[in-house]
Structure formats: structure tokens, C-alpha cells
Amino acid sequence: MKLSIIITSFNTRVLLKECLTSLKHSQDKLEKEIIVVDNASEDGSPEMIKTHFKEVKLLKSTRNLGYGRANNLGLKHATGEYILFLNSDTFVPPQTLGYMAEFMASHPDVGVATCQLQLPQGGLDPASHRGFPTPWASFTFFVGLERLFPRSQLFGQYHQGWKNLEATHEIDTPAGAFYLTRKKILRKVGGFDEQFFIYAEDIDLSLRIKKAGWKIVFVPIVSVMHLKKRSGRLYNGNKPYTLDFSQGKEAQLRRRRSSVAGVGRKPLALARGDRPKGVGESHAPKADSVRQNTSAHFFSTMKLFYDKHYRHRYSFLTRWLVLIGIWLISRIKK
């Protein structure tokens, strides 16, 4: 088996159906399998898979495991040389899988690769092109210095806006929405850290893979549409989404340049704030509780990520300044 595609889903029946349909239309010649881990959905997702996608390996959980733990469950059943963690709110054009698999095969020093994640409104999803959220990178983003100097290597470290988005190059971490890696790497460094229910698990994994000596690469030649926040926050699950991959390369490039700086976005200041996963969506009456839960997870994850990776690199005073900053941001965002 060459490729195992693992998708974690919670109440994303319509989006998941369109995602799986896009994979069905892939023009690659790879021997591949698709594994869907259902996080106790209540919207008929498992039944939809059994009816329309009998070739998909469905793993049903009796409770919401969160993103990392659910993906790790899928990983236990994966047999592919390459592992692709894919969001259910993505749509994959026909050429993407084949190109990315060939890229990994021809670059044996690359541990993780991602493609261009396009947003529906145009432009690059900034989360697919990030540096690690060090205290400095997070600080410069939150105080607006990255917005003012998006191509500065000093002030734009979080989204790395100084790099050439037309060329393949190294980054620190992509988004978990399209995260292609090697199974042998995951055997060595482990899968997702299950302490992170949502947020930061992709950055945490990237950091461990980089420490193990592997490259992480952004490949802008092919793309995937990412609807963003639809696989984890509230979404009207009864409405399908219409895609258009026909836009010209120059227009796409202009939007990528403008969006990669992350203008108007929040990063994970010491974790990530762009894609909560596995936390309810299609049930409108639960909107307030879902937002509260995702917000609580976001800020607790900030502390967890910082203490795991950075507390021993910085002074006691820096740690307390970081924790005070996290607390202040959590108060402001409430």
C-alpha cells in the first residue's frame, strides 16, 4: 500500500461526502486506502459512508476522541508507506495526490509535505505556511508588528511572509488539514500527542519531526480547497459547497501573497487558533456551548504547548510573562 488517507469527522456529513467524492475522482495511480474515523457523529455520517463509499474503511468511536486521538486510531489501521492526514472540509483536485506522492518519493529527506491550501474567498490559508509559535513570533503577531511588516524576517516569523510563494521551500509547520508524512517517521517520533484535544497537535508533531532531522516543505505547484473551520466549528451541514479550481495562477498568486501574512487572523500564540477540530458543528442550538468549549481548549492548549516545548528554553520571568499574556488574551476574547 502506497498511501493511507486518514480523515477524522464529527457531524460533517455533507462536507465529508464531497471530500470523499473529490478523492474518488483523483487521477493518481496510487495503491491507496481511505480511513474515516467518526467521532460519534449524530448526523448520519456513518450511514452515508456505508451507503455511498463502501470502499472506505470506517472506524466508529462511541465518543468524541478529539482530533489527535482519533487520527492515532486511524493510524493504527493504516498500511500505507505515506500517511495523509486530511480534513473533512477539504476538496482535493484530481492531480494533487499523485503529484505530492511523487514529490515525497523523489525527496527522501522530506518528512512532511503540504500543498497550497486555497480558501474559498481566494488566497492561501496562512495556517499552511507557518513558523513555530515562539514567544517572539506570537508577540509580534498579537501586537500587530507582523501586520505592519509582513515580509520582515524579524517581525513576520509566524507566517514567514518573506518567502517566495511561487517556489517549493522549507517551512516549520503546515496545517493539519493536509499533512502528508511517512509512516516510518510516525513509528519513530510517535503520532499526535493526545494531550492536545484540539489545537496545536499538528505544530507539536511538526516540531518533533524537525527535531528528528527531517525537512518540512511547502509545495505550491498543486492545491487543495480548504473551507476553513467547517470541520470543527458550527456549520450548516445541509448545504453543499460548490468548488471552482479554474482561477488563473496569477490571481491565485496575488491572493497568496496578500494572505500569507495572516492579516486579520489570529495564530496559535504558542499553539494555533486556525482550525479547531472534532468539536461539534451541525447542531445550531449548541452554538454557544461549542464556541465556549473551543475557546477554553484554545487557551489551555497555549499553556500546554508552551510548557512542553519552551519553558526550559526561556527564563522563569519569560514564562510568567507568557502565561499572563495568555490569560489577558483569553479575557479579551471572551
User: Which residues are CB-neighbours of 54 under 8 A, at least 6 positions away?
Assistant: none
Does the pLDDT of residue 285 top 50, yes or no?
Answer: no
pLDDT tens-digit map of 44-87: 999 999 999 999 999 999 999 999 999 999 999 999 999 999 99
Q: How far apart are alpha carbons 84 and 98 in whole angstroms?
A: 12
User: What is the pLDDT of the chain when averaged over all its residues?
Assistant: 83
Q: Which among 100, 107, 88, 82 is positioned nearest to 37, based on CA atoms? A: 88
Q: How far apart are alpha carbons 155 and 106 in whole angstroms?
A: 34
Amino acid symbol at 163 = K
Residue ranges and CATH numbers for the domains of the chain are 3-333 (3.90.550.10)
Does the pLDDT of residue 200 top 90, yes or no?
Answer: no
Average pLDDT over residues 171-193: 96
User: Which residues are CB-neighbours of 257 under 8 A, at least 6 positions away?
Assistant: 165
High-pLDDT (> 90) share of the chain, %: 61
* 210 C-beta neighbours (distance < 10 Å), count: 18
Lowest mean pLDDT among 79-93, 255-269, 284-298, 302-316: 255-269
Lowest mean pLDDT among 30-44, 173-187, 207-221, 237-251: 237-251
Lowest mean pLDDT among 20-29, 199-208, 316-325: 316-325
Highest-confidence segment of 13-27, 218-232, 254-268: 13-27
